[in-house]
Amino acid sequence: MGHRFVAADTAPAVDSAWVETQWAASRQRMAQAETEPFLLVIDEIQNVRDWSSVVKRLWDEDTRERRDLRVVLLGSSRLLLQKGLSESLAGRFETIHMGHWSFDEMHKAFGWDARTFVWFGGYPGAAPLIGDERRWKDYVRQSLIETSISRDILMLSRIDKPALMKRLFELGCSYSGQILSFTKILGQLTDAGNTTTLSHYLDLLDTAGLLAGLEKYAGDRIRKRGSSPKFQVHNTALIRAQSESDLSQATADTREWGRLVESAVGAHLLAHAHSQSFTVHYWREGNDEVDFVIERDGRVIGIEVKSGYGQATSSLSSFQRKMSPDRVYIVGEAGIPWADFLRMDPGNLF
């Protein structure tokens, strides 16, 4: 298949005319080669003003003229892409979600071991800076976190209290792996709005690939929606960027290290949830808690993370007895080693 790759962040000026020029060049190259289909890949499409309208028009032209030009649109701003797709391209697209870099990818690209990945997360642009953690933190905070919040959220959504949303993000990173009711969250914040506002902000942070609020698995949708969220970062680098401890201190503190490993497992699950069509929850009843519950097509799997050598708690047994899952797994020394789990496709667990 013939193909052409262009990037909207390398051109001096990008607007709808730039897209038309690239599209026309691809049509011409396809005609000269006398081969179909032909693939056009446009990277960072969100940098183009009014990109969705011109893509719709050109795509419809090719459809009418039976021209088999196939188009892949890539973008680092998920919210901007979704906005354009929903506004103009209904019925004309298929979304393919690409999450943060995995442990396997960071290992192949930079030679990282599992501990380094848990500590520094999956941001390839920050990888060369890990020798200077202060500089690494500044990069993550300024180039990644601040840019994502300002560009992906504040520019596209009405946020009445942006400082509150940023504080919610910081709080969620600090409490990643923990369950907090919205009432307790309000108690931790100043200038807090109401639980509906916080829930909306958390949804936006999740869509931007920063911070999720996992819902409780309870077997019915009503109880799930009314549950207290379990904070879960999409990338463990977001925890590290808010922390003052170093790697040796974290690994010496079994509780802190266990929280980081659990967050890495949760981020790994979230990264595969879209492509493998499963949802991620947690389960808690009384004193029993299972770290993650993944669900797909009515099949339910419980996952308990044990980063040390401890045996499984009674929570998995209680979960099996009360919820009848299809399978349960321990991630840790008593089951699947957590470093191995971070290399797995979780969809294969079903």
Selection from 252, 157, 255 nearest residue 202 by Cα:
157
Q: In what order do the strands lie in the sheet with 69-73?
A: 2-7, 38-43, 69-73
- Rounded to two decimals, the pTM is 0.84
Integer angstrom CA distances of residue 335 from 267, 303, 312: 19, 10, 9
DSSP 6-53: EETTSSSS-SHHHHHHHHHHHHHHHHHHT-S-EEEEEESGGGSTTHHH
157 Cβ contact list (under 8 Å, min separation 6): 79, 204
Q: What is the pLDDT of residue 154?
A: 77
Determine contact, residues 147/219, Cβ cutoff 8 Å. no
Selection from 310, 311, 317 nearest residue 283 by Cα:
317
* In the chain, domain spans: 2-88, 103-349
Q: What is the pLDDT of residue 40?
A: 95
Q: Are strands 230-233 and 299-306 parallel, antiparallel or unpaired?
A: unpaired
Q: At what angle do helices 162-174 and 195-207 cross, to 10 degrees?
A: 70
Q: Are strands 2-7 and 327-332 parallel, antiparallel or unpaired?
A: unpaired
The CATH classification number of 2-88 equals 3.40.50.300
How many other CB atoms sit within 10 Å of the CB of residue 2?
16
Q: pLDDT tens per residue, the chain (350 residues)?
A: 789 999 988 767 778 889 999 999 999 999 988 778 999 999 888 788 888 889 999 999 999 999 999 999 987 766 667 766 766 778 888 888 888 999 999 999 999 999 999 999 999 999 999 999 899 999 999 999 998 888 778 776 778 888 888 989 999 999 999 998 877 787 777 666 677 888 888 999 998 899 999 999 987 655 555 578 999 999 999 998 887 777 777 667 788 889 999 999 999 999 999 888 999 999 999 889 999 999 999 999 999 998 765 555 689 999 999 999 999 999 998 899 999 999 999 999 99
Angle at 120 between CA 130 and CA 343, to 5 degrees: 125
Q: How far apart are CA 326 and CA 285, in angstroms?
A: 19
Q: How far apart are CA 302 and CA 281, in angstroms?
A: 9
- What six digits make up the tokens of 17? 């005319």
